[in-house]
Amino acid sequence: MWLARRCALALPIALLLLGWIGFAGARPGGGSHYSGGSHSSSSSSSGSHSFGSSGGGGGGSVDLPPWAVVGFLGLVVLIFVLSAVFKKRAPRAAVAVDAVAQHAGIAALQGHDPTFDAAKFAERTRAIMTRVNEAWLKGDMGPARPLITDGVYVRFQTYLALLKSAGLRNVMVDWRVVGAELVAAESDQSWDTVHMKIAGEARDRDVPANLSAEEAQAKAKGAPLEPYEEVWSFLRRRGKHSRDGVPALEEKCPACGAQLPASEVVRCDHCRALVNSGEHDWVLAEITQPEEFDANSEGGSQQLLESVRAHDPTVSRQELEDRGSVIFWKWIEAQATGERKRLDRFCLQAGRPAVEPARLSEVAVGSCEAEDAPAIADGFDRVFVQLRWSARVDGAAPVNMLHRLTLARSSQAVSKRGLASLDCPNCGGSLAASDDLKCRYCGEALTGGKHEWSLESILQTG
């Protein structure tokens, strides 16, 4: 009877534990949690279910013959084994490489940059992956900031802050770069873009932040070795040419060659260039999950923003998507912390739009795309930025969402800073860690859309 009673409890416990098989950690940027595209997120939902008896007191037992007990235990073991095998055979989507598009993109890029070398760029990408991962594991993206745009930097920093607020940190072991390959390349009137398929593998876990290094490593060692792929998109101002080495990896300014401090400083003291703006060298500007990447849809910026280009010829889709990414992650932070002060600086009006607090975890962005918005004759230009993302809300199963950000900017403003959002648009003062609504150096208001695209509204559209 004792054994039978334990068996009666075994199935619900087994089913509850099944929800944790294949639990993934949070590799840099949280991409491992993305549940968009055609992939179902139901495999992670079991942890939110409750199992138990209802009515009748629940104090009885079930008498089963020995053969039934043995068979039942065997069934439980089989469920575990099959579940593990099934999950292992259902990997995330992979990035397909179209050889025709690949060669056409390289040829087009070499048309105005004859020294561009795809193999050298792949080596460059592998080195940047390593620097980004090292910074991620230390919990501070500062050392990688010269290599990534403000949009990517805020994405990483916000995710690290969310883990910290939950009393967690991410640990990866046995990490390595499996490969880096050019998927597509394109150019428009403002930017050259190279889309790289990156492949890596690692064992990783989100572990309590108070664990020692040895304890955390041991936890991560118990995780399965998981492969992953993403598309990393690098941008550089059109008209620049390839060079040997990666100045920012060597703590050197890509504009003048002067030594940069080994920190998150991105403005050169000698020539005042913004190192991570894309104006002088390639920077990582976007990370797209395989489910959402479509090389054929990455172009089209020539037809976008025609009304804005009438008075601002240098405005670009890339600039808007990076700005939209910064604002999106500030909005996520405001929901998760219940404090909107870091968001208000990027809003058209402080305090608007309203933000409802929410318990968010495993936030992952699939894609970010700029779109035209209807013109309104009120002295502001407007654009939409659509973000596909997923997250757990209040600990429930991951939910796929689509939100549309409406960004507005004075019709008198012009684009002049490349992919930069965190410094003062008026005087260039360093404000990356500032919550101020006015620049502490020149006193210029940072809200209102006078200089930069600001959040007017955000709407869930899917």
Between 64-68, 122-126, 236-240, 408-412, the lowest mean confidence (pLDDT) is in 64-68
What share of the chain has pLDDT > 70, as a percent? 77
Pairwise CA distance, residues 265 & 262, whole Å:
8
pLDDT digits (tens, 9 = 90+) for 330-371: 999 999 999 998 999 999 999 999 999 999 888 989 889 998
* Residue 240: CB atoms within 10 Å: 16
Say if residue 389 is exposed, middle or buried (CB neighbours under 10 Å; 0-12, 13-18, 19+).
buried
What band does 383 get if pLDDT is binned at 50, 70 and 90? very high
pLDDT digits (tens, 9 = 90+) for 194-215: 999 999 999 999 999 999 999 9
CB 116 within 8 A of CB 104: no
* Residue 461: CB atoms within 10 Å: 9
Residues shown for the chain: 462
Pairwise CA distance, residues 205 & 210, whole Å:
14
SS3 content of the chain, % helix, strand, coil (to 5): 35, 25, 40
What band does 2 get if pLDDT is binned at 50, 70 and 90? very low
* Residue 351: CB atoms within 10 Å: 11
Dihedral sign from CA coordinates of 315, 318, 319, 321: positive
CATH number for the domain whose boundaries are 93-299: 3.10.450
Judge whether residue 285 has pLDDT over 50: yes
pLDDT value for 222: 93
pLDDT value for 1: 41
Could you tell me the fold of the domain covering 304-462? Nuclear Transport Factor 2; Chain: A, (3.10.450)
Judge whether residue 82 has pLDDT over 90: no
Pairwise CA distance, residues 329 & 363, whole Å:
10
Q: In terms of Cα–Cα distance, which of 400, 416, 309 is closest to 363? A: 400
Q: pLDDT higher for 315 or 297? A: 315
Pairwise CA distance, residues 90 & 76, whole Å:
21
Pairwise CA distance, residues 33 & 30, whole Å:
6
Average pLDDT over residues 139-165: 91
Whether 93-299 shares its CATH topology with 304-462 is answered: yes
Instruction: Give domain limits for the chain.
Output: 2-33+40-88, 93-299, 304-462
Q: What is the mean pLDDT of the chain?
A: 80
Edge-first strand order for the sheet with 360-372 is: 360-372, 380-393, 399-410, 454-460
What band does 311 get if pLDDT is binned at 50, 70 and 90? confident
Judge whether residue 281 has pLDDT over 50: yes
Pairwise CA distance, residues 332 & 357, whole Å:
9
Between 99-113, 217-231, 419-433, the lowest mean confidence (pLDDT) is in 419-433
Looking at mean pLDDT, say which of 28-42, 183-197, 262-276 comes out highest: 183-197
pLDDT digits (tens, 9 = 90+) for 258-267: 988 766 668 8
Judge whether residue 45 has pLDDT over 70: no
Q: Which of the 8 DSSP states describes residue 252?
A: B
* Residue 64: CB atoms within 10 Å: 17
CB 120 within 8 A of CB 113: no
Q: Give pTM, 2 decimals.
A: 0.79
